[in-house]
A and B are shown apart, each in its own frame.
Chain A
Amino acid sequence: MERCFPFQTSVTVYKAYTRVESDANTIARALTAQTAETDAIRFLVGTQSLKFDNQITNEPKRLSSENRVLTCAAVWRMPPEWESGSHESPDDSSNNPQTLELLCHLDNTAHGSVACVLWEPLGDGKRVISLAENHVLLWDLQESSTKATISSTATLEGKGQLKFTAGKWSPHHNSTQLVTANDTAIRGWDLRSMSQIYCIENAHGQLVRDLDFNPNKQYYLASCGDDCKVKFWDVRHINEPVKCLEEHSHWVWSVRYNHSHDQLLLTGSSDSRVILSNMVSISSEPFGHLVDDDDLSDNEENQQEDKGKEPLQDSIIATYEEHEDSVYAVEWSAADPWLFASLSYDGRLVINRVPRALKYRILL
């Protein structure tokens, strides 16, 4: 099942095409990159099934997994032999699945089913947040993560049944901010006081599905939802989105900024497409023409150069259509900033690279 695309023909494409094999047809919904691993390119896939033990293929150092049916969450430890950083290819690991060591359950039966679990983005990994129904729960992991206790909680009050659908722990501000989504609203929380700091009502026309922080610009936030749109927000001015993309034709399930080059944005949608876009105008990188580059003496040369090197415009770089079913998760690799994976309902994991031409353009 190898496919070639015109823009990839001249480049060596590192493309793995993996079906998460299992005894039966496996339904996969969760995907994460192994963030602590910097050498090997490793992704973790969470499956969803009722009858079988859910699996996490590839090895996490720490992984959060959620199971909707069981409405529980647990912290797992990777098998120790992987901790040393083995160099097997992903195929090996899927051939030889390792069982994870269960460290502890996040016992939250009192608060209903868990929508998502978030690790503290910085620090020593002792804190975890889980979003359950309309509660924000901040857990402290103790005794080498074998025991989790709730340190503080916050509850979203309002009429009707409010349920968190997504959340993201901000990597900025010394990890004191959290942003959550429920229905069409996006809310920001201060974890020190566990209180709401801002709220974008009607951020999307329909349900908000996912959120991501710009890793380099602390007030910038991307969100996506059932109205097929991806919106970019400056949380200091929440009345209007900074920008709005409408490229997908069905619900957008996942949005991810590239960790180091924040103009690269990945979105996955249930129209079974993954779109990689280049949002130059709102990235942290200099946009357009830099004035101090100019040397007055060779102005003309510069101008000619400029003509040859048009500043990049906001654009779609590529649309990946390898998936045949809804794409529920996309994720950048933690180790290689030009590599990303996408996971669809049928368990197909597709790993792609940013086109080389663009890569050089960004780098040079």
Chain B
Amino acid sequence: MSSATTPPDSDPTGRRQVHSMLKLYYGMNEEGKVESLDPCDINGPHFDPEVYLNKLRKECSLGELMDHESCTVKQIRSLDSDMQTLVYENYNKFISATDTIRKMKNDFKKMEDEMDCLSANMAAITEFSAHISGTLQDQHAQITKLSGVHTLLRKLQFLFELPARLNKCLELQAYAQAVSAHRRARCVLQQYSHMPSFRGIQDDCHVIMEQLAQQLRQKFRDGGSSAKDLSECVELLLQLDEPAEELCDKFLSHAQSRLEADLQGLEAELIDSLVTDTGGGLVQKTNPGSNPVSPSSSSTTNPFLSPTAGTDILEFIDRGCNEFVSNLCLVIASYQELFINHPQEGELASKKIPEMANGKLHVFVDTLAARYFSLVERRIQEEKGVGDNSLLVRALDRFHRRLQAISKLLPGSAVPSQGTEIVVRAARERIKQYLSALQTFYHDSLTDVRQALAAPRLSVGGASASGGGATSKDATPSLPELLTSLSNFILNQLKSVLASVHLFTAKDITFSNKPYFKGEFCSQGVREGLVVSFIKFICQSSRQYCESAGDRGGSTPPALLLLLSRLCLDYETSTISYILTLTDEQFLVQHHTPVTPVTALCAEAREAAQKLLNHYVKVQGLIISQMLRKSVETRDWVNTIEPRNVRAVMKRVVEDTTSIDVQVGLLYEEGVRKAHSSDSSKRTFSVYSSSRQQIRYAPILIHTFTCAALLVSVLTGIIKISLKTFLECVRLRTFGRYGLQQIQVDCHYLQMYLWRFVSDENLVHFLLDEIVGSAAHRCLDPSPMEQSVIEVICERG
């Protein structure tokens, strides 16, 4: 029982033991604890004293029994004492609990009383509060009323102070403030105008505002102020109930005066440039007298430069755009801001101001733009130089671009389309100028060629006579060189013109995407108006050389005719199609309208070439036949001496024919000549060869343009013409004996040399026979010379 005495805290097992025992006592079964069923376990529930005693007796000796007995007695005693302690303890606890409960009972009673007292107090407080609220109500209403009066008084004060304030604003020129202040007061004053004091204020205000309006109008009228100031001014006036129409008019007239100043500036510039131009002319005129060196410098002024040296067109247009157009745009914008887009209140809205204002604006813009356009057009017309097209195009582009701003501002306006028309017109005009420039250029280069042909005339003759142009080539260009340089010049010029015209359709130019520039400009303008016209012009002027100059034969050098014919032929074969293809490619011509086909142009060129060549034959034939005619007509054939030589004129004829042969051969390749009979130079003449052969004098017409046949047929034609003339002249003369013999010698000489130039030598033979025959007919004493003698004379000469 020693364990029982140990304090419960110190020995948990002992406490547990106590707990479990208490539990047992109170019949509580400790769950989960395996209870031993051993009846010998003294602490177990199935303890059976009898079994336990029997067991002890059987197993233990006396001593042990004795011990055991004492141990058990000890344990019993300890248990009893434990029991006693427990009972005491519990009893004390119970008593203290009872005491506590009694005390609590007393306390609650006290609290109940205090609560009653509290509720009574609260009722009293509520009553008091209601009483106070009721008392304060009246005073609050009075305060509200008082604050209202205060506000009113402040307004009144504003009203009373208004005239002074307005005056001050007027002094400070703070018009906007004045107007807004007045607007605020206006209605009130209007309402209370029956009261004399308010009336006074209103009148004062009226006067002041009148004054203000006057000032504003003055300012408006004076001008000089910027557009922004002006628009502000207008806005204020509008708020002051000025009639809108009048304002519109005034605004526009004011704007007009300023824009007119711009226009006048432009016009002055235009006139200036004219004056300086003529002045420049005067200076140039006076210069040569005073200074002989300067004219060379002044005369070298390139005709392709702009005639107006003062300001170029780009500058002019720039100025026009920057001053006039931008100001116009500004005016339009502010006008629209003021009169059209301005939100209208009340009665103003009903007056349909926007419509009226819009109409006025359109008229205004149209008239001004018309003047501007006329100025621009005058300026463009002055732009006659064809050198630098880019300036003009850029100017036009700027002009057109700036007008787009107007079209954005004023959607219904006709101004931009008129501007486009001007551009179109300018472009058309430009093409015409280019065409005439090309024509002039063509004429000039022809003149150059003509001079080049005229200058070395002798040297060419000498060179061709000596069979080669090596010596003369150094000094002057030969015929083929002239031809290539001429055609190159023309082609280059045409190309450069095309390039400058092409600027009109460049992508970065705004007007290039207009329908005119896409379609008609390319096809009708450039292709037809420029290129085709130029080619036609070439053909035509070439033909003119045949017609006008032909009669006397002297005005156009034959070499030029030959050159031109070759040029036309080249055009027919290649150049025309090349140029047109080039144009079509550059301008992407879409043929909406019928255009001149290449074949027609080629046919024309071919016709011109043909005509020129025929004319060349005629002219050259004429030159030789004139020579022959003179030689026959001026001689006294009856009383001539016996022939000793071939006449010089015959040698000249052969020489000239040779040089023509060389000349033509330079440009046209030599054709195949009929193989000559070996004895052709030894052929004898029958003086009475009146065997009327059926070889006619067929006219010389070169219908085959194959180069092979050409050279021969040209020379055949020339020889035919010459010999026929010879024949006719001989028939008109009378010959003596030696005259006939001289003719015989001459004919034989011609026979010897001319056969090689013609396609059919029989023709030469026939004509020469005829000449000798006719001479014999007209001979008083027809006794022909011995053939051998003739041959000797001819070989000698």
Contact = CB atoms under 8 A, between A and B. Distances in A.
Contacts of B699: 249-250, 271
B622 interface: yes
Contact of A204 (B551, B696, B778, B779): B551
Contacts of A251: 728
A202 B690 contact: no
B697 A271 contact: yes
B731 interface: yes
9 contacts: A25-B777, A27-B731, A204-B551, A206-B622, A249-B700, A270-B724, A324-B696, A326-B697, A346-B692
Candidate in A205, A249, A325 with the most chain B CB atoms within 10 angstroms: A249
Interface string B114-137: 000000000000000000000000
Contact of B724 (A206, A250, A324): A250
Contacts of B777: 25, 27, 49
A51 B225 CA distance: 116
Given A51-B780, A250-B721, A272-B696, 19 more contacts: A49-B777, A50-B778, A50-B779, A68-B734, A69-B734, A202-B552, A205-B550, A205-B553, A205-B622, A249-B697, A250-B697, A250-B699, A270-B697, A270-B724, A324-B692, A324-B696, A325-B692, A326-B697, A346-B692
B696 A345 contact: no
A270 B700 contact: no
A114 to B, nearest CB: 14
A227 B551 contact: yes
Contacts of A50: 734, 778-780
Interface string B716-756: 00000100100010011010000000000000000000000
Given A205-B552, A324-B696, A270 B734 contact: no
Nearest to B780: A50
Contacts of A270: 697, 724, 728
A93 to B, nearest CB: 25
A271 B724 CA distance: 9
Interface string A108-139: 00000000000000000000000000000000
B694 interface: yes
Contacts of B692: 324-325, 346
Secondary structure dominating the interface of B:
loop
B552 A25 contact: no
Interface string B689-722: 0101010111111000000000000000000010
Contacts of B721: 250
Interface size range on A against B:
20 to 34
Candidate in B553, B724, B777 with the most chain A CB atoms within 10 angstroms: B777
Interface string A48-77: 011100000000000000001100000000
Interface string A201-230: 010111000000000000000000001000
A47 B411 CA distance: 95
Contact of A324 (B694, B698, B700, B734): B694
A206 B625 CA distance: 11
Nearest to A226: B725
Contacts of A250: 697, 699, 721, 724
Contacts of B778: 50
Contacts of A206: 622
A204 to B, nearest CB: 7
B561 to A, nearest CB: 15
A74 B692 CA distance: 33
Q: What are the 7 tightest A-B residue pairs by CB atom distance, in nearest-first order?
A: A249-B699, A205-B551, A69-B734, A271-B697, A324-B692, A50-B780, A270-B728
Contacts of A69: 734
Nearest to A26: B777
A227 B622 CA distance: 9
A107 to B, nearest CB: 21
B607 to A, nearest CB: 15
A170 to B, nearest CB: 26
Contacts of A204: 551
A270 B732 CA distance: 13
A273 to B, nearest CB: 9
Nearest to B638: A69
Contacts of B697: 249-250, 270-272, 326
Nearest to B634: A161
B762 to A, nearest CB: 16
Interface string B556-586: 0000000000000000000000000000000
Given A69-B734, A205-B550, A227-B551, A25 B700 contact: no
A112 B748 CA distance: 34
B734 A202 contact: no
Interface string A313-354: 000000000001110000000000000000001100000000
B472 to A, nearest CB: 31
B622 A25 contact: no
A51 B552 CA distance: 39
A272 B724 CA distance: 12
Interface in B177-208: none
A270 B696 CA distance: 10
B694 A25 contact: no
Given A270-B724, A272-B697, A25 B690 contact: yes
A241 B588 CA distance: 48
Interface string B202-225: 000000000000000000000000
A50 to B, nearest CB: 6
A202 B548 CA distance: 12
